[in-house]
Chains A and B, each alone.
Chain A
Amino acid sequence: MNNMELFEAIGEIDSGLITRCENEVVHAPKQTWVRWLSVAACLCLVILCIFTLPTFKQTPPPPITPGNHSSQPTTPNNTLLYINQLKQEPSFQNSGISLNVNDFIAMTDDEFLNYYGVSFSINKAVPALKLQPQNPAKRNGIFKSSGRGTYYDRHTFVFANDADSQRIEITLSKTAYYPGLMVGTDESTAQLKQSELGGFAVTIFQYAGENGGTCYHTEFLNNGIAYCMTSYNLSQKDYAAALTSVIADNVDTKANPAGAEDTHTATGTVNAVDENANLVSISVGDGAFSTLRVYLPDGEAKSYSVGDQVKVSYVGNPITICTIWERQLKSITTVND
């Protein structure tokens, strides 16, 4: 038996193993030291409170201003702003889609705006930032074939100042969730909080970029389009202003209330269960973003099986695209067909 024969024989393995592999939902391994660290942090907090509470009672709290790096809520322009700090630069999911060069259709930025049906007035919200010309080194266009339809349409709009020292990149896609932020369990996901800008709930992450500059990142789904908005070296105030303008320009919150406290329900069929990660994956439709991943409390995932019809009730918008985190979950119930 040679290598090629072994390689060919692997093609004969049990189909069930292949399907299980395809449906596998990966979650960052739980780190026990994080739990102990949390306990230690709580103890420290309690001790700190005991010694400092009397002082706080006598001194008025300092004002929280936009632009600080606190995770406390701030309120520029009557919005509720929470910043979720990540300890390190996060990783982003990669798309494994194969592109056929013969299917490429070039598009200008204007054509892309028409294609998505969106508009941006970031220049009005943050005058220093201007839409940059397309980078000719990158493929600016979509991939479409008669058999596959439009199968790749990701495009990034870049807004930067004249010196290119500050920038915002807005990546949109109708067909694939890419790039998407991957937040590990060591990021205290239970404490992730949503901001509400213009009546629309979003989760804003802050982290130090490659060269130490401050980055903010938000991703959300609206009207079948995935938005990923990342800033480099921009102040919190300017990022919030830009994000608010994107929401005001493109999200109809009157038609579909989607505030941080609004409750939503989704009904669908369980297509994968990951007991280790306490995660179930649910098919909720036929579109590009038809899978909703729901993190459940410890030990509850095993109560569900592939094929179950479930109804999920949650608060706010998915923290990351198509993902309901445990803290958002109000209830999940099995329903009859």
Chain B
Amino acid sequence: MEDNEIIELYWRRSEQAIRESGSKYGSYCLSIANHILSNLQDSEECVNSTWLNAWNAIPPQRPNRLSAFFAKITRNLSINKLKARAAEKRSGNEVTVAIDELDECLPAPDNVEAEYQRKELGEQISRFLHTLPERECNMFIRRYFFVQPIGEIAARYRLKESNVLVILSRTRKKLRFFLQKEGYMA
């Protein structure tokens, strides 16, 4: 089924939208989640939550690129899951539990501010990525957006892993320089 047909199903509030999304993008999203979480059960949960988030977001949204839209949701959910896991590991420590309990005392505007800053930083990173040659840009996205292993990236581009590491290292240095210029780092 074409992407615009799936989006139309979401707009019509048809549950078939979720089935079609799963059928077309299930393994794609699962792969993204599993690269971040390295746990199939957690990854499956994130993918199922992806369709729920999409259900809540469409309408009013009408994504131009459905795969990227799902990828971003899955990635965010997986990162949240990763953070929750880290918090669980810390939960035996009384001090960290006490600190976590204080989270709810923080005023909400901080989260809005953080969200705004994240989006703004994301835009700056996009600007930076547009300045890169296409292959370097794609390697960066594969590593830091899709979290693909170095070996997988090397196989894809038919390069040695050491070459991929060097290219990524150079790109990170360029990004650091770019962000410094934009005032993000001292």
Q: Is the CB of A149 within 8 A of B138?
A: no
CB distance from A257 to the nearest CB of B (A): 32
Q: C-beta contact mask, B119-143 vs A, less than 8 Å → 1, else 0? A: 1011101100110001001100110
Given contacts A94-B152, A94-B155, A148-B27, contact A14 B126 (CB under 8 A): yes
The chain B residue with its CB closest to the CB of A10 is B144
Q: Is the CB of B43 within 8 A of A15?
A: no
The chain A residue with its CB closest to the CB of B123 is A12
Total A residues in contact with B, Cβ cutoff 8 Å: 38
Q: Is the CB of A21 within 8 A of B158?
A: no
Give A22 to B72 CA distance when docked, in angstroms. Answer: 13
A1-38 contacts to B, CB under 8 A, are 1, 4-22, 24, 26, 28-29
B111 lies within 8 A of chain A by Cβ: no
- Neighbour of B27 across the interface among A7, A18, A19, A98, CB < 8 A: A98
> Which of B8-16, B60-68, B93-101, B102-110 binds A?
B60-68
Give A4 to B82 CA distance when docked, in angstroms. Answer: 11
Is the contact region of chain B dominated by helix, strand, or loop, or is it mixed?
A: helix
CB distance from B87 to the nearest CB of A (A): 13
Q: C-beta contact mask, B153-167 vs A, less than 8 Å → 1, else 0? A: 001111000000000
Give A22 to B185 CA distance when docked, in angstroms. Answer: 31
Give A100 to B40 CA distance when docked, in angstroms. Answer: 6
Q: Is the CB of A91 within 8 A of B121?
A: no
Q: Is the CB of A18 within 8 A of B65?
A: yes
Report, as a range, how many residues of chain B touch the other chain: 35 or more
* Residue numbers in B under 8 Å from A11 (CB-CB): 72, 75-76, 79, 122, 145
Q: Is the CB of A149 within 8 A of B23?
A: yes
The chain A residue with its CB closest to the CB of B26 is A148
Q: Is the CB of B125 within 8 A of A9?
A: yes
| Interchain residue pairs A-B with the least CB separation, the first 4 | A12-B122, A15-B68, A9-B121, A14-B126
Seen from chain B, the residues whose Cβ lies within 8 Å of a Cβ on chain A are 19, 22-23, 26-27, 30-31, 34, 40, 43-44, 63-65, 67-69, 71-72, 75-76, 79, 83, 118-119, 121-123, 125-126, 129-130, 134, 137-138, 141-142, 144-146, 148, 152, 155-158, 184-185
Seen from chain A, the residues whose Cβ lies within 8 Å of a Cβ on chain B are 1, 4-22, 24, 26, 28-29, 91, 94, 96-101, 147-149, 151, 182, 184
Ordered by A's residue number, 23 sampled pairs between the chains whose C-beta atoms are within 8 Å are A5-B118, A7-B144, A9-B118, A9-B121, A10-B125, A10-B144, A12-B118, A14-B129, A15-B63, A15-B64, A15-B65, A15-B68, A16-B65, A18-B71, A21-B141, A21-B142, A96-B148, A97-B27, A98-B31, A99-B40, A100-B40, A148-B26, A182-B158
